[in-house]
Structure 1
Amino acid sequence: MASSTYVLYHYTPSLVAAIIFSALFFLTTAFHLYQRISTKSKYFNPFIVGGIFQIIGYAARAVSRFHTTSTTLYAMQTLFVLLAPTLYAASIYMVLGRIIVFLHGEHLSLVPVRFMTGIFVMGDVLSFVLQGAGGGVMSSSGSANLLIIGQWIIVAGLCVQLLFFGAFIITSMLFHVRIGRSPTQQAENSKTSRFLRDWRGLLFALYTASVLILIRSVYRVIEFAQGNNGYVISHEVFLYVFDATMMFLVMVVMNAFHPAVVLQRNPSIYYRGQKSSRTDAELDELRV
């Protein structure tokens, strides 16, 4: 393993915390995989890959407890944990598009549905590439200059993520307000007394997941902007409170409010006696 004389950690990484979160992410990811297979919700594939990234990232962090000078392990745990939320975001973007199509509310969306997934996922990919490039620069050498350059590239990627996530939340809320004021027939027919099986509950889940990811991204921007000698990066507790815990909650929320429970894609499913007219082919055509 490549090693560095540059101080990578200002503390000894907690073995117990890394193992606990790796195990927690394994459990929620396994459940997501089960939900994905049983519901055939392929739009949740990126979300599951994000969970796998978290497992690998915290496993690498556990090993780094015994190799604190290894730039390979440092970059590995940093990169996998950093990139996971961009994969969560990709699935979340697709879910909003599917909600809008499911409710026949395309005319109420600020962003045309046929472009929505492409626009937000494109921003997500840009954020992913920048953060990945930053992690790559950090792992290419143990020199202080390259580590600093890598950190600022990561900050740029996180800022892109914040920008697109902010736009996404505005788009979601505006659609929610509009469909509340002028509900479509499908929106009325799809209402149930069971919050977990209602599109309103699903929108609530998207807001919750989005806010958790935003909190985590703001924390990461502060962390990397302060640099390797900053207060935030020098205290491991911030990582577990504002990143690991936030992202675990995102996965649990989407376990509880799984989109496939609401977005029934089988046209034979009826809501209060009325048939849903949107088919798999139509949804795929809209790329949501």
Structure 2
Amino acid sequence: MSMVQGPPGVDLRLRYFRYMPANVYPQVAAGVYFAIGVILIIQTIRSKAQAWLYVLAGTAIFEAVGYAFRAACVYETTLALFLLQLLIILLPINAIALFNYKVTGKIISDSLTAKPKYLWLRPKFVYWFYFASDVFSVLMQGAGGAMMGKVTTRAKAKTVALIGLCVQLLFLGCYMTTTVYVWRKPEYIVHAGPRDKSPQAAKRKVMINIISTTTLLYVRSIYRIAEFADNTIYSTEWAFYVFDTLVIFFAFVIYIVLFIGPNFPRKSAGLEKQLSYISVEEANAQSLSTRLTDKDY
């Protein structure tokens, strides 16, 4: 396959990427992310989880498609291929943040005894406020990515993308604060799956999952900000594979190992029984404590 050239003597790979993209790595990444997507689909089906959990599998498959386009760029780089690989790799990751927002919102809304006193703890606010911030971030990053193809607009493109990434970083930090608060409050409980020893253990697993993956998203966002702000980092391919490809890969590994599908089943009536069970256990513990105190006297 012949290499498409721009001006005489200018390789379009250098023009768009600022380096000669390495072979093999994008093919491996595409295969790995596709396998991750398949595994997540199987896990979601087997756990009879709610439909929104398929977002994870869809994100992994989109990543695989993005790296497939990047692999094509190794052999024939065009503006269309460059923009496709850039946008498909850059934007779907925002769906992971959206997924985590949904998890926290579901925990709040499913907890029957919890009555949020603050606006920032209301389920609809948690989901839609962070969803709106995510959409704004996606639009800004998408606009910046689309402008990267032209040398004349590249400086403006970086500024636009930086604004989107900084917004994402800000709201990820706010979301982490909300999630830690929900974790510490016992009134917010999680449906226990077949392998969870108790609702408390289920909640700990879910919280470790979303806090760990959100932290990795934070690392990735910091890298992306540094990449757009510093031409040296932008022109370094190994940093992209370490701080983007590997970081998101580890996030997906966490999602698979600590899979939360069983904690959000389609039929969640069992949550009321678990809540009653917790109340009985707490009442028994309080009664035992009272009897022991009376005995001392």
In the alignment, structure 1 residue 59 sits paired with structure 2 residue 59: no
> Secondary structure of 2:92's match?
helix
Query: Residue 216 of structure 2 contacts residue 251 of structure 2 at CA under 8 Å; is this kept in 1?
Result: yes
Matched residues in 2 for 1:18 and 1:106: separation?
A: 48
- 1:108-161 Cα shifts (integer Å, max 9, x gaps): 77431122111011111111111111122224xx3x121222222111111111
Equivalent residue for 1:187? 189
Instruction: Write out the 4+ residue segments of structure 1 that deviate beyond 4 Å after TM superposition.
Output: 1-6, 188-192, 194-197, 270-276
Decide which of 177, 191, 216 is 1:212's aligned counterpart: 216
In the alignment, structure 1 residue 118 sits paired with structure 2 residue 128: yes
- Aligned pairs for 1:209-248 (under 5 A) are 209-226=213-230, 230-248=231-249
Evaluate the alpha carbon distance shift between residue 272 and residue 40 of structure 1 in structure 2; reply closer, same or farther with a 3 A threshold: closer
Equivalent residue for 1:176? 183
Shift of 1:53: 2.1
Evaluate the alpha carbon distance shift between residue 188 and residue 160 of structure 1 in structure 2; reply closer, same or farther with a 3 A threshold: closer
Shift of 1:234: 1.7
Equivalent residue for 2:58? 49
Unaligned runs of 5+ in 1: 277-288
Q: Which protein is bigger by CA-based radius of gyration? A: 2
Matched residues in 2 for 1:53 and 1:188: separation?
A: 29
Query: Residue 91 of structure 2 contacts residue 138 of structure 2 at CA under 8 Å; is this kept in 1?
Result: yes
- 1:190-248 Cα shifts (integer Å, max 9, x gaps): 5953799611111011010000000000000010011xxx2212221101110001111
Equivalent residue for 2:264? 263
Matched residues in 2 for 1:67 and 1:82: separation?
A: 21
> Secondary structure of 1:232's match?
helix
Decide which of 142, 146, 152 is 1:132's aligned counterpart: 142
Query: Residue 54 of structure 1 contacts residue 81 of structure 1 at CA under 8 Å; is this kept in 2?
Result: yes
Matched residues in 1 for 2:19 and 2:56: separation?
A: 31
Equivalent residue for 2:285? none
Instruction: Work out the number of aligned pairs and report it.
Output: 264
Shift of 1:258: 2.3
Equivalent residue for 1:82? 90
Evaluate the alpha carbon distance shift between residue 66 and residue 196 of structure 1 in structure 2; reply closer, same or farther with a 3 A threshold: farther
Matched residues in 2 for 1:73 and 1:188: separation?
A: 44
Matched residues in 1 for 2:269 and 2:170: separation?
A: 40
Q: TM-score, normalised by structure 2?
A: 0.79
In the alignment, structure 1 residue 34 sits paired with structure 2 residue 36: no
Matched residues in 2 for 1:188 and 1:111: separation?
A: 16
Equivalent residue for 2:294? none
Shift of 1:106: 4.4
Matched residues in 1 for 2:245 and 2:275: separation?
A: 44
Equivalent residue for 2:17? 9
Query: Residue 15 of structure 1 contacts residue 65 of structure 1 at CA under 8 Å; is this kept in 2?
Result: yes
Equivalent residue for 2:253? 252
> Secondary structure of 1:7's match?
helix
Decide which of 173, 179, 185 is 1:166's aligned counterpart: 173
Unaligned runs of 5+ in 2: 279-297
Shift of 1:40: 4.0
Matched residues in 2 for 1:51 and 1:188: separation?
A: 25
Q: Percent of aligned pairs with the same residue?
A: 24
Q: Could you tell which deviates more after superposition, 2-11 or 242-251? A: 2-11
Evaluate the alpha carbon distance shift between residue 199 and residue 265 of structure 1 in structure 2; reply closer, same or farther with a 3 A threshold: farther
Matched residues in 1 for 2:71 and 2:145: separation?
A: 19
Q: Residue type matched to 1:132 in 2?
A: G
Evaluate the alpha carbon distance shift between residue 130 and residue 243 of structure 1 in structure 2; reply closer, same or farther with a 3 A threshold: same
Q: TM-score, normalised by structure 1?
A: 0.81
> Secondary structure of 1:107's match?
coil
Cα RMSD, aligned residues only: 2.8
Q: Residue type matched to 1:238 in 2?
A: A
Matched residues in 1 for 2:192 and 2:115: separation?
A: 16
